[in-house]
Amino acid sequence: KFKKTADREGCPILFEANYLDHDQITVYPLDKQNVVVESPCWRGAYNAGSGYWVMDPQLKQVKHLATTQGSSFSEGEIFAHHKGRGLGDCWSRQEWVWTSNGFVESYNATTGQCKGFAGGAWQLPTFVSQVK
C-alpha cells in the first residue's frame, strides 16, 4: 500500500525490499482515527531517511505520505536531521507537526556553508512557524 504514495527515488528500500536485519516498520498512534507508520526508505554513507505514512488504525487505508526524509517521530512530530558531509560541520533540519489536516511542515533550517565547525557554524532557518 505504501508504494502507491511513494516513488522509487524517494523510497528505494521500499521498492527493492532491501531491508537490513535490524530494520523495522513501526506504528505510532496519532488520534482515534489515525496512526503514523514509519518505514526505512533510504540510506547513504552517513544519513538515512524513513517514510512516515498516515493510515487508519486498522492499517487498511493510506491517507497521506508526510515525508520520506524523516529521522525520528515523537509526540505528533516528525524530525529530520541530515549531515551535509561526514565531518558533521554542516546540517539540515526539518520538522513536521500533526494537525487535524495531516502533517504540515513547521520548521526548516540549515547550518549554511561547511566551514569546519562541528555541528555547523550557524542555524539559518528558511521556514519557521508557530504551532498552537
Q: Please state the domain extents for the chain.
A: 2-128
**pLDDT (average), residues 121-128:** 89
Interacting residues of 8 by C-beta distance below 8 A, sequence separation 6+: 15
In the sheet with 62-70, reading across from the earlier edge strand, the strands are 26-31, 34-43, 48-55, 62-70
User: Which pLDDT belongs to residue 15?
Assistant: 85
Lowest mean pLDDT among 15-19, 82-86, 103-107, 113-117: 15-19
The structure's pTM equals 0.89
User: Which pLDDT belongs to residue 48?
Assistant: 94
Collapsed DSSP state (helix, strand, coil) of residue 53: strand
Could you tell me the sign of the dihedral formed by the alpha carbons of 11, 15, 18, 20, in that order?
A: positive
Confidence bin at 61 (pLDDT 50/70/90): very high
Question: Strands (DSSP E) along the chain, which ranges?
Answer: 26-31, 34-43, 48-55, 62-70, 72-74, 77-83, 91-99, 102-110, 124-128
Lowest mean pLDDT among 19-23, 60-64, 113-117: 19-23
| Residue 21: pLDDT over 80 | no
Residues 32-50: tens digit of each pLDDT: 999 999 999 999 888 999 9
